[in-house]
Structures are given as structure tokens and as C-alpha cells.
Amino acid sequence: MKIRPARLQQGDTVGVVNLSSPLTQETLGEKLAFIEQLGLRYKLGNTIQSYEGYLAGTDEERAADFHAMVQDPEVKAIFLAKGGYGISRVIDKISYPLLEDNPKIIWGFSDITALHTQVNEFSNLVTFHGPMLSSPQGALDELSQRMFQQLFQPIEIQYTESIAPLMTVIPGVVRGELVGGNLNRLVGTLGTKFEINVRNKIVLFEDIGEKIEQIDHMMNQLRLARKLEQAAGFVIGDFNMSDDTYSYEDVIEMITGYLKPFNKPTVAGFKIGHCTPNVAIPLGVDAILNADEKTLSILPGVK
């Protein structure tokens, strides 16, 4: 059983760090305003500033920033301010026992998948796959904003077609721990000591800016690594394509070709990932995927 972090209270302080690519000062104001809108205070990490290049500081600076927030007794949650690229470079520099001894809410998605998988596994801690406090277009939509309420009280998430149409890819019902996230970052763990553990788990896939050939390549990597046969089921989120040559339906058809031989319950169409809305979910908790009824029920992420 994974550790559930303590729920937030109005007036709590959250730490805002950037472990990936640089953050523009223009978007920072929107993110901080949303934190205040939630009734929270914030502390900014040293990486929340402009850097030249494609990383928000050195690997050592970013890891130290994260550790400082973990050790700070005032900080009750850590929000990752930006995705992009870079967090994979620090996952071997993070002290997972330190986080297990100081369990806190970890929130973010996209590149943050590399952190989610390791914290779930090595800190034995539930984390949250959710949007980065604001979207590239500005304020988050109403549903995405409401999903932050799961940090303030234990809420069981019932994802149904009331949000958006869903598609049964492979029928059946399965219960298991929910893991996964960005497909590119999951594949990036293969062959390393940080390789994602999917055995008997329900795996989420989503991605952005990839061509169908690249998605095919990544699915084949998972097949060759025997991850597809080890998993218990699959939740297919959004795939925001890099061009309009192929549709989402084309991507699902290709993915189906990889998953069909293993006959694991699979549903596609979830508004989870680089999309609007971006429905936030806890990772590391038990979930029930009912592919026949096209529902996903997820246990609360906080205690």
C-alpha cells in the first residue's frame, strides 16, 4: 500500500520548483495567482528564474531545489511549475528515502512522468498527474481547476463519458495500481535501474508533438521490453499530434494492434494529458477500469 500524503488546508504553504526547462516570467505570475486563488501560500525555489539554454539551472541546482522543499517543514506540497525536458537528468540525484520520510503532495505532468514513476516506486508515495497551474494559453479551464480540490479532501474520482466520449479498445474489467503518464518519458526509463514497473498495474499513456511513426516506435519498445504483457490494463489519454496527417483514431488503431494480442482491458479517449480539460488523477493508488461500461474509478490520493 502506497503512502498517501496529508491533505492540504487553507493557508498552507506549497513549494514551487522547476526541474525541467526554463520558465518565462510572464507565465509565472499566472501560476502564482492560481495558487493564491486556491487559498494557499507559496515558496519559490531557486530554479524559478530565467536561464539561458534549455534547462532551468544545473542538474545539481535543480535536485537541491527539490530536496530543500522536501525538507522544509512549512511546505506541504510541491508543485512542478514546468515540463519540457530535463527532469530525467536528475532522477538519479534525488533522495527517495528523504521523501519517504517526509511525504508530501507532488503535482505535475508531461516531463514530470519521470519523477512520478520513481517516487511511486522508491519513495512508496502517491503522486498527482495534473496540469501545471496554468495552460500555455493562460488560465486553466473550469474542470481542470476543480480537480485541484482532490488535494484538500479525499475524493474518489469517477471518470465517465460525462467528460468526453470514450472508446472501448479491449473489453473487460480490471483492478490494479494506476501508473504511467507521458509515453516518451516511460520509454526513456527502459534498460535503466529506473525502469518503470508495470507488473499487474493499470498503465496510463499520453503524449504530445509526436508523429505516428514515433508513437509506433515507442509502443514497439514497450512490447520488446515485455511491458505490454506484464500490465493489467491500459488507460489511453490524449495524443496531440505534431501534424494533421493522422488522426487520434489512427493512433488508437495502431496502439490497438500492439495491445490486442495481450487481451488486457483498455479504454481510449480520456482527457488526461496535453489537452483541455486536463483531468488530474493520483498515481500509485488502486483503480478499477471497466472497459465494458467505459468507466475509470480511482481511490483518493490524500489522507
Let me know how long the chain is: 303
Catalytic residue among 88, 135, 144, 274, which? 274
* Single-letter residue type at 52: E
Distance CA 301, CA 3 (A): 9
Q: Please give the C-alpha separations between residue 225 and each of 33, 162, 199, 262, in angstroms, as whole numbers.
A: 43, 36, 12, 14
Running DSSP on this structure, what letter comes out for residue 231? -
Contact between 126 and 263 under an 8 Å Cβ cutoff? The reply is no
Catalytic residue among 110, 123, 134, 144, which? 110
Running DSSP on this structure, what letter comes out for residue 107? E
State the helix-helix crossing angle for 248-259 and 212-224, rounded to 10 degrees. Answer: 20
Place of cell 493522422: 246
Distance CA 217, CA 90 (A): 25
CA angle centred on 52, ends 50 and 55, rounded to 5°: 85
* Single-letter residue type at 73: P
Catalytic residue among 20, 144, 206, 210, which? 206
Q: Order across the sheet with 13-17: list the strands.
A: 41-44, 13-17, 75-80, 105-108, 127-129, 281-283
Report H helices in the chain.
25-37, 59-71, 96-101, 113-122, 142-146, 183-187, 212-224, 227-230, 248-259
Residue 274 falls in the annotated catalytic set: yes
* Single-letter residue type at 35: I
The whole-angstrom distance between residue 48's C-alpha and the CA centroid of its chain comes to 20
Residue 110 falls in the annotated catalytic set: yes
Residue 206 falls in the annotated catalytic set: yes
Distance CA 264, CA 172 (A): 7
Catalytic amino acids?
A: 110, 206, 274
